[in-house]
Structure 1
Amino acid sequence: MSKIVDYKEIDLERGHDFAHPVRNEKVIPSLKFATEEDAEEITKIFKEVYDGTYPYKKMESVSEVLSMIRDPNYYWIIFKLKTDITIGCIGAHLEFEGKRANLFGFAFRKEYQHKVNMNTASIAYMVAPVNKLRDQILIWYGEARSSFSSIQYLTNSVGLRPIAFLPNKDIFFHHPESEFLFVMYNKNALLKYRDSKKPELISPAIFCYFYAFKKYNLELPTIKNYANIESELNNSEIANKRAQLLRRVERDEFGNELISFSIKGTDSHLQFQYYKNIKIAEKTIFKVSTTEELQLF
């Protein structure tokens, strides 16, 4: 516990070096927030680790990584040895409006994997930002590859807990691979800001909910019959709004598509990112004023 308290005070702007290990102990890499000078090295790590096959090509683009480093809604942390060799990295997208942060891009050069003490460094890279942003970010989440139990272990050791299994979610080294979704909640996310109204679930969602119900001591839900919900929809409203439905597609230089749907004359919308090379859609956000609008989207 004392180590965690100490790690809260780590200044990642200046960087942090750990004490030199005693004999036969693994070296703990130093860590710091990445600067613009580190952008190219981060892209090299992804190219080396994944042999140029990393599915999210932004991580292989110096300009894209530079853009994230400059953006206050992102940060990158790099891991270095005393010899000033950058051996790994991890990024975070800070979604301040929703008080959540997405951890991504954890990559380590192959020749240093299992040869340095990443357990201590990992706890430090989580504790310091979580403490600094404790009033702004209440939920931290990220995905861990199913083929690497060591990554799952590290993710669990820093306080994130598995909450969902995503079958064949990504493609690594040209092969489909499942991932685990890990999450860590600030207690205010579950207590202070949680809606007092009971959750309303359809029956297929019951087992998913009860996993979190037991883990986080949530309230019992109300079960809704899906057939009844569908029968309550106003089909005339759906037909009218379908005529006002707008679609927009924005493509980036990597072939990814940002697909948006909106209803003319309203603030209702649905948006998601489509990654054509791995054929998945994610990062879905939506706003609706009626169940009919959600059904339409």
Structure 2
Amino acid sequence: MFIPPSAWFTGFIPDLPTPFDAADTIDLKAFAALCERQVAAGVPALVVCETTGEAPTLSPAEQELVIRTAVDVACGRVRIIAGTVSNATGHAIELARRAEAAGADAIMSVVPAYNKPMQEGMLAHFRAVAGSVGLPVILHDVPSRTLRPLADETLLRLVESRQFVGLRDGSCDITRPMRLSRLLPVGFRLLSGDDVTSFGTIAGGGDGAISEIASIAPDLCRTIFSQVRQGRLQSACYLHKRLAPLIACLSRESPAALKYALSTLGLMSPATRLPIVPLETAAQAEVARAFAAIADEELIDSVGA
């Protein structure tokens, strides 16, 4: 029986980008440094090879290399959640098995994009992926990318198996935690799938967020989460609003904007893989203004710590 990961699948968990060098190969040194920075900040887990990691552009061997690198850097200090992003069930199973072999602590399985499966198809897909490994499975519902949402009824059927331990909810429905909390198994975690809805989701009873902004400012995100949990909503809301311009930049051009932001901090190259291209000059200036907007309160120092 799988014990829900109540202790570590909570709070702000960074969805890490995959750094590339000038030759379009993975910059493992930069990636290891990104991981170590997050571990030092005390995050509960790292998500790799998922949305921000440009997973569809990575070969299975590259994904395994990224996961192994994260596992080696973490060295048991934080959990590694590996994406298994594919709209072909057989390929998702291959990625899940590779992630398990590479030492991941859990996998994240997304609703298949483009195919537009019916709910029964989603159910069969997720059960097949889960059945191929011995790891906890975190579901990812992101209708803006997949066109078809994971219905509440389908989620409730899936969680009859305790192998399904959480949901990354990208539906932008901040009422979902309140609606489902009494129907889900004890310990099942509901996290926001994006930073735009993270505050509303957490304030409404959610357990955290899989976050891009946490890749930049993990300490500040931890403070926001802690203040919400302590009932200091006004203070937490204020800090989240201060981050809103930067969150908006990241949301519009993900992951190019995140990569550019991290490059301005000297942490990685802004290089992306086609069909994603690096951020244009005007958008770069917007990111710079978003940083400047929080510099007056020294929040930018927290970002660069």
Q: TM-score, normalised by structure 2?
A: 0.30
Bigger Cα Rg: 1
Q: Using CA pairs under 8 Å that are at least 6 residues apart, name the structure with larger relative contact order, 1 or 2.
A: 2
Task: Looking at secondary structure, tell me which structure has more helix per residue.
Answer: 2
Task: Looking at secondary structure, tell me which structure has more strand per residue.
Answer: 1
Q: TM-score, normalised by structure 1?
A: 0.30
